[in-house]
Amino acid sequence: MRRSKYFMPTLKETPSEAQIPSHRLMLRAGMVRQTAAGIYSWLPMGYRVLRKIEQIVREEMDATGAQEILMPTIQPAELWQESGRYDDYGKEMLRINDRHDRALLYGPTHEEIVTDIFRNSVRSYRDLPQNLYQIHWKFRDEVRPRFGVMRGREFFMKDNYSFDIDAESARRSYNKMFVSYLRTFARMGLTPIPMQADSGAIGGDMSHEFIVLADTGESAVYCDRDWFKTDPLSLEIDFDADLQPIVDRWTELYAATDEKHDAENCPIDEKQLYTGRGIEVGHIFYFGTKYSDSMGATVSDSEGKETKVEMGSYGIGVSRLVGAIIEANHDDDGIIWPESVAPFKAGIINLRAGDEGCDGVCQQLYDGLTEAGVDALYDDRDERAGVKFAEMDLIGLPWQIAVGPRGVKAGTVEIKQRGGEREEVSVESALARLT
Ligand code: ATP
Ligand code: MG
């Protein structure tokens, strides 16, 4: 992509409405624009990142055997009246009437819809287990939308729903999601910490929030320093095997939020205790027969008896992750994208656009990268070098290659990793490093 043609309305001034770095940087880098309170438009740069994150989530879901579906954002009120949540959900639910005065709502979550699909389609235990997911928009009329896309009203979520014949099988489904979440967040360069969460009326330990560390996070985190010793991506995972040992290994390490942490009785000694802040990026939840009970979702078991199906639901805040990843990866100059989610892998900076030599080398680099399937943003504008360097640092691409007249004469370009040192190398070795 040529910078001169790219729609990336960057801002020089720090927007005054933004309180935290990710919100400031997303506005300054031209990734998003606020359309209404807590409602955002995604511009090309931001949308590229959102899609990269979405794709990692999708690949990891598919690896567990879950199947992708797409449910409507607009839902009929009747289904929520059936589950009993229509009145309970309160003001966070955006309620709408259509022209015939039928009550609709913009879905804040999809348990009711998916349970309705299930009960109308599945009759036998032979068709279980099932796990259906979607990646789509939700609307929750939050009292205080804030921190940009981190707490929006309209936001992009991966949500999925498991259906099992009994509690034992439901635990296996839960464990798959637990392990899959560890991998999903690790692939984005984040350190995921699963913390036992309140599972409300159902009780037990079958609800975990996944927190990633960032100083500006809304949740306090207390955990054993041993969390950071094992990279989830180093584990060999077979989703058909028993995952309980892996889940146990992660849950036996103590981790707690503010409400659960008890300084007096904390089982971790002071030296081993890590105290920090984090952002909730995912939540997994086993709720048994809550919806199959109220909405009548049953299948016949192996003896022909009608049995209520056991369910769980699992969410990942896909749009929140864009902000969370920036919170975890930035410096005073801007964003530092982990390669797996970067909008482009490399930026090419032409330090003298219009100079034949510089233009030629830049084009050679750009073509070489494009042919090798490496996304590059080529800053071909007639702008001062300082402006270009500052913008590249702001938008945080993992690699920068600067091409100037002096280097071109000597047959070299300058390559650096975002936040790293510049190095003078030949055009060929710059290409070799990135392809
Ligand atoms: P929170 O405690 O942050 O309000 P929640 O518990 O209401 O979140 P869930 O219903 O568990 O959220 O939703 C699953 C995931 O969706 C959350 O882990 C979070 O990452 C994301 N999410 C929830 N609310 C928002 C929001 N208002 N804006 C952006 N992402 C959100
Ligand atoms: Mg939650």
Ligand 1, atom 6, lies closest to the CA of: 283
What is the C-alpha separation between 433 and 116, in angstroms, rounded?
52
Compute, in angstroms, the gap from residue 212 CA to the centroid of ligand 1. Answer: 13
Domain regions of the chain by residue span: 3-335, 346-434
**CB burial class (10 A; 0-12, 13-18, 19+) of residue 140?**
buried
Ligand 1, atom 12, lies closest to the CA of: 283
Ligand 1 neighbour 158 (Cβ under 6 A): no
Closest listed residue to residue 210, CA positions, set 263, 153, 244, 250: 250
What is the C-alpha separation between 347 and 430, in angstroms, rounded?
12
Token code pair at residue 388: 């270009």
Ligand 1 neighbour 157 (Cβ under 6 A): yes
DSSP-assigned beta bridge partners for residue 133:
68, 160
Ligand 1 neighbour 151 (Cβ under 6 A): yes
Query: Tens of pLDDT along the chain (435 residues)?
Result: 999 999 999 999 988 889 999 999 999 999 999 999 999 999 999 999 999 999 999 999 999 999 999 999 999 999 999 999 999 999 999 999 999 999 999 999 999 999 999 999 999 999 999 999 999 999 999 999 999 999 999 999 999 999 999 999 999 999 999 999 999 999 999 999 998 876 554 445 589 999 999 988 888 888 888 888 889 999 889 999 999 999 998 888 787 777 777 778 888 888 889 899 999 999 999 999 999 999 999 999 999 999 999 999 999 999 999 999 999 999 999 999 999 999 999 999 999 999 999 999 999 999 999 999 999 999 999 999 999 999 999 999 999 999 999 999 999 999 999 989 999 999 999 999 999
Ligand 1 neighbour 290 (Cβ under 6 A): no
Ligand 1 neighbour 195 (Cβ under 6 A): no
Ligand 1 neighbour 323 (Cβ under 6 A): no
DSSP-assigned beta bridge partners for residue 96:
104
Ligand 1, atom 4, lies closest to the CA of: 151
Beta strand pairing status for 273-288 and 207-213?
antiparallel
3-335 and 346-434 share one fold? no
Ligand 1 neighbour 141 (Cβ under 6 A): no
Ligand 1 neighbour 142 (Cβ under 6 A): yes
Helix/strand/coil (H/E/C) assignment for every residue in the chain: CEHHHCCCCCCCCCCCCCCCHHHHHHHHCCCEEEEECCEEEECHHHHHHHHHHHHHHHHHHHHHCCEECCCCCEEEHHHHHHHCHHHHCHHHCEEEECCCCCEEEECCCCHHHHHHHHHHHCCEHHHCCEEEEEEEEEECCCCCCECHHHECCEEEEEEEEEEECCHHHHHHHHHHHHHHHHHHHHHCCCCEEEEECCCHHHCCCCEEEEEEECCCCCEEEEEEHHHHHCCHHHCCCCCCCCCHHHHHHHHCCCEECCCCCCCCCCCCCCCCEEEEEEEEEEEEEEEECHHHHHHCCEEECCCCCEEECEEEEEEEEHHHHHHHHHHHCEECCEECCCHHHCCCCEEEEECCCCCHHHHHHHHHHHHHHHHCCCCEEEECCCCCHHHHHHHHHHHCCCEEEEECHHHHHHCEEEEEECCCCCEEEEHHHHHHHHC
Ligand 1, atom 22, lies closest to the CA of: 317
One of 3.30.70.141, 3.40.50.1950, 3.30.930.10, 3.40.190.290 is the CATH number of 3-335, namely 3.30.930.10
pTM of the model: 0.96
Atom of ligand 1 nearest to the CA of 281: 20
Ligand 1, atom 24, lies closest to the CA of: 151
Pocket test for ligand 1, best of 57, 157, 199, 284 (most atoms within 8 A of CB): 157
Enter the CATH code of domain 346-434.
Answer: 3.40.50.800
What is the C-alpha separation between 136 and 419, in angstroms, rounded?
34
